[in-house]
Amino acid sequence: MTTNHKTAVSKNGKAAGEKLDAMIIGAGVAGLYQLHMLRKQGLKVRAYDKASDVGGTWYWNRYPGARFDSEAYIYQYLFSEDLYKGWSWSERFPGQPEIERWMHYVADSLDLRKDIQFDTAITGASWNEDSRSWNVETADGETVETRFLIACCGMLSAPMTDPFPGQDSFKGQIFHTARWPREPIDFASKRVGVVGIGATGIQVIQTIADKVEELKVFVRTPQYVLPMKNPKYGPKEVAAYKDRFEDLKSKLPHTFTGFEYDFEHTWAELSPEQRRDVLEQVYADGSLKLWLASFGEMFFDEAVNAEVSDFVREKMRARLKDERLCDLLIPKNYGFGTHRVPLETDYLEAYLRSNVEAISLRDNPIERIVPEGIQTADGRVVPLDIIVLATGFDAGTGALTRMNIRGREGRSLTEDWGKDIRTTMGLQIHGYPNLFTTAVPLAPSAALCNMTTCLQQQTEWISDCIAHLREKGLQVMEPSRETEDRWVAHHDETAAATLISKTTSWYLGSNVPGKPRRVLSYTGGVGAYRKICDEIAAKGYEGFVKQ
Ligand code: NA7
């Protein structure tokens, strides 16, 4: 591979007009590790991020109550024992400030910042057939040429910030959770409205309910929730999980979801009493075990799913007590686990407070935002000082379709994905040579996994692939149309067998008007996906066209 280094310096101090071997978009969990690996290969590589620092998701999502619901000791890089053991978590599911500090620790330990350009949004990229490279444009007008372009943009990084007409007219403050300001927000004596009760809205609601004068929660689709147990970690607990490094390293990449636990029980083999015991046991664990480590059949078998759903409904009912709240907040029309399951702490109890009101949007949607607050279809205006939009993301695709990415013959990714969301194993896209992707659809990393497990696997695959190309003196790689067709068909067939495919949520892109429907995440399991990726690599990247 030839690299043409020019030396003119642009306004931000970087060499203008230079050619990179690889450019990484994003300095979050995937981008940091990708940068580390490609730099170790000796590539001229730089990461770009529109944020002012590292962290990705954990930079942007600084809303009140943001925290892990993967156990901290598994949401980890596992390539370096020193890196793993050099950081000690303070609790099982730490909050955003601690996670952001950890990401800084990673960037500092690996000395990554010197190769990251912050405060720089990528606005477009086009493939140049003659130079066999990408021309990438930044928001401040810089153009960078790079042989390989690697999107590490995160699956939930394109927030739905403007869902309602009239937002600009609001006299108070309005925040989307993923664009939360760094300065603390003063909630005392404020009337606050929260729109959205996904995993994010739930964390906000339970955190601010006792800090605000009035809290109005706008409820459209109810959510199954599981109570979190979040013990503090002292030196003993920290030493215990660090001792398990080798065990976790060998286990996590091969489970169904990249968590340490896997489906341990078979519904059909147990009596009703034994099933109940299992459900009680995993429920009491205070983690996502009930979802990800109880009965795999709940994802495929409606009868099993109905019983597990009833179990969770019963638990919620016992806490909510009030009939109206039960009717509003306990799901009836879809099964447990077919939407993302949030962990919570006293979330349901928040609705029992006298300053909290749940406003039903069932048959009465939000119509618009007016200067005084939120107006629903029946004409009611709920007066508010602060509106919190926990309204989610254009998941998996939004980060890239909001850029102008042009592949062979000027084809547009925004247009292509606007018709049909297709990738080859979520790692490359036919028609877009040398573009590598992480956390995009048709791979587990688009939703159903412990993100660090999946992102490490994808970035390692990409890194190995680039090393292979260099070794063979090749410059360009792209999946063939047939390879992509086969993967899409396999993905769809696998997804169709699950109950997830029969629901509506961001898992299928149905939260974004006009987005083509497809189960975004590969549902064959993290371990199985890894095996397929490894086999393809072992066969010299079979099914990919190389030049
Ligand atoms: P989610 O899970 O997509 O939740 C978004 C919430 O916002 C959900 O309750 C939506 O109701 C609600 N929403 C969105 N638009 C509207 C409008 N127009 N009116 C009323 N309510 C609306 O996003 P989160 O940020 O909570 O979580 C995303 C992921 O981040 C999560 O799964 C974790 O993996 C981390 P709806 O369900 O569409 O009726």
Q: What is the CA radius of gyration of the chain?
A: 24
Residue 346 to residue 324: CA distance in whole angstroms:
18
Chain centroid offset of residue 325 CA = 30
Question: Which helix (DSSP H) or strand (DSSP E) does residue 538 occupy?
Answer: helix 526-538
> Environment class of residue 91 by beta-carbon count within 10 Å: exposed (0-12), middle (13-18) or buried (19+)?
middle
- Residue 452's identity, in one-letter code, is T
**What per-residue confidence (pLDDT) applies to 19?**
94
Atom number in ligand 1 closest to CA 340 = 32
Tokens of 160: 């739905």
Ligand 1 centroid to Cα of residue 389, in Å, is 9
**What per-residue confidence (pLDDT) applies to 264?**
86
Alpha-carbon separation of residue 53 from 34, 103, 228, 319, 504 (angstroms): 16, 10, 30, 41, 35
**What per-residue confidence (pLDDT) applies to 15?**
52
Q: What is the pLDDT along the chain (547 residues), one digit of tens a residue?
A: 333 333 333 444 455 567 999 999 999 999 999 999 999 999 999 999 999 999 999 999 999 999 999 999 999 999 999 999 999 999 999 999 999 999 999 999 999 999 999 999 999 999 999 999 999 999 999 999 999 999 999 999 999 999 999 999 999 999 999 999 999 999 999 999 999 999 999 999 999 999 999 999 999 999 999 999 999 999 999 999 999 999 999 999 999 999 999 998 999 999 999 999 999 999 999 999 999 999 999 999 999 999 999 999 999 999 999 999 999 999 999 999 999 999 999 999 999 999 999 999 999 999 999 999 999 999 999 999 999 999 999 999 999 999 999 999 999 999 999 999 999 999 999 999 999 999 999 999 988 899 999 999 999 999 999 999 999 999 999 999 999 999 999 999 999 999 999 999 999 999 999 999 999 999 999 999 999 999 999 999 999 999 9
What residues pair up with 544 in beta bridges, in sequence order? 479
Q: Which amino acid residue places its CA nearest to atom 33 of ligand 1?
A: 199
Ligand 1 centroid to Cα of residue 212, in Å, is 22
What DSSP character marks residue 540? T
Q: Which amino acid residue places its CA nearest to atom 3 of ligand 1?
A: 392
CB atoms within 10 A of CB 427: 23
- Residue 46's identity, in one-letter code, is R
**What per-residue confidence (pLDDT) applies to 10?**
47
Ligand 1 contact via 392 beta carbon (within 6 Å) = yes
Q: Which residue in 358, 470, 383, 489 sits closest to 38, CA to CA?
A: 470
Question: Which helix (DSSP H) or strand (DSSP E) does residue 419 occupy?
Answer: helix 413-419
What is the value of pTM for the model shown? 0.96
What DSSP character marks residue 291? H
Question: Which helix (DSSP H) or strand (DSSP E) does residue 249 occupy?
Answer: helix 245-251
Tokens of 83: 């890196």
Which of the listed residues 339, 340, 507 should we mutate to test ligand 1's pocket, taking the one with most ligand atoms within 8 A of CB? 340
Residue 198 to residue 342: CA distance in whole angstroms:
7
| Strand ranges, E, within 196-235 | 214-219, 226-227
Cβ contact 454:521 at 8 Å: no
Atom number in ligand 1 closest to CA 159 = 25
Ligand 1 contact via 220 beta carbon (within 6 Å) = yes
Which of the listed residues 179, 220, 257, 376 should we mutate to test ligand 1's pocket, taking the one with most ligand atoms within 8 A of CB? 220
Tokens of 73: 């000791």
Tokens of 180: 């939360």
Cβ contact 449:419 at 8 Å: no
Tokens of 109: 């330990």
Residue 399 phi/psi, 5° resolution? -60, -40
Give the sheet arrangement for strand 373-376, strand by strand: 366-370, 373-376, 381-383
Residue 441 phi/psi, 5° resolution? -60, 160
Ligand 1 centroid to Cα of residue 506, in Å, is 8
Q: Which amino acid residue places its CA nearest to atom 12 of ligand 1?
A: 196
Ligand 1 contact via 512 beta carbon (within 6 Å) = no
| DSSP letter string, 273-326 | HHHHHHHHHHHHTTSTHHHHSSBGGGGT-HHHHHHHHHHHHHHHHHHH--HHHH
**What per-residue confidence (pLDDT) applies to 14?**
54
25: Cβ contacts below 8 Å, ≥ 6 apart: 31, 47, 48, 49, 122, 149, 150, 151, 152, 153
Ligand 1 contact via 251 beta carbon (within 6 Å) = no
What DSSP character marks residue 155? S
Ligand 1 centroid to Cα of residue 500, in Å, is 16
Q: Which amino acid residue places its CA nearest to atom 16 of ligand 1?
A: 391
CB atoms within 10 A of CB 5: 10
